[in-house]
């Protein structure tokens, strides 16, 4: 069973496997030998279930150096004839068409991170999703077996943004792959610089049957 990652753009940073740091048992011994009460026996690094869980799946990394800002956005229904009027009355700098409505923003940092698309036109890496989230286009494709899905997870520690949980089936991934590659949602919560190669979230391969699993209480 293979999971295939492939760059669609030169700048893409492919997901990485992370190995938990080797356990240094000398720290435990140092405390036991030298301190009356203090101990270091219960660190998470010594816990096998945590170590396995921490290594599960792949870490998605930022493909570029980027500074993210919290979004002040509104979802709106808007007649195209009102475009000029909405700018005058509400002062929005940007209106983004998303399916049957518009996302309006007073921020324009999203447009800074434009890249050359397949046809030579300029595409944007960040697209507003609503509720303060943006869709972050990562520039690579993922192919998984039909009977599996990908679970999108946040990192264990919040760094100033959140990653909403999500599940992508092999069919949904196939659609993404043919439209510029995989993207994940991110919700900035403060002004933060993220460097290229820095992990921003995780993806874990799961059985599609697990999504449909029922339960019972005894």
Segment 35-74, tens digit of pLDDT? 999 888 888 878 888 888 888 899 999 999 999 999 988 7
Please report the domains of the chain, with CATH numbers, ordered by start residue: 1-25+52-70+117-209 (2.70.40.10), 72-106 (no CATH)
Whether this prediction's pTM lies above 0.75 is answered by yes
What 3 state SS string does 75-134 have? EECCCHHHHHHHHHHHCCCEEEEECCEEEEECCCHHHHCEEECCCCCEEECEEEEECCEE
Q: Which residues of the chain have pLDDT under 70?
A: 20-23, 80, 83, 87-88, 90-93
């Amino acid at each position: 069973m293979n999971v295939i990652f492939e760059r669609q753009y030169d700048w893409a940073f492919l997901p990485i496997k992370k190995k938990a740091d080797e356990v240094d048992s000398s720290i435990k011994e140092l405390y036991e030998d030298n301190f009356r009460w203090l101990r270091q026996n219960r660190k998470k690094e010594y816990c096998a279930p945590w170590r396995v869980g921490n290594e599960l799946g792949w870490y998605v990394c930022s493909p570029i150096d980027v500074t993210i800002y919290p979004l002040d956005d509104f979802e709106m229904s808007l007649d195209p004839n009102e475009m000029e009027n909405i700018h005058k009355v509400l002062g929005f700098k940007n209106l983004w068409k998303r399916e049957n409505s518009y996302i309006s923003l007073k921020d324009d940092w999203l447009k800074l991170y434009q890249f050359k698309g397949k046809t030579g036109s300029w595409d944007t890496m960040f697209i507003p999703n609503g509720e303060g989230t943006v869709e972050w286009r990562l520039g690579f494709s993922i192919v998984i077996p039909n009977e599996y899905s990908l679970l999108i997870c946040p990192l264990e520690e919040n760094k100033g943004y959140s990653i909403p949980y999500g599940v992508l089936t092999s069919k949904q991934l196939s659609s993404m792959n043919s439209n510029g590659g995989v993207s994940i949602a991110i919700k900035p919560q403060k002004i933060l610089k993220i460097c290229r190669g820095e992990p921003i979230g995780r993806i874990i391969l799961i059985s599609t049957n697990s999504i449909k699993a029922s339960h019972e209480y005894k």
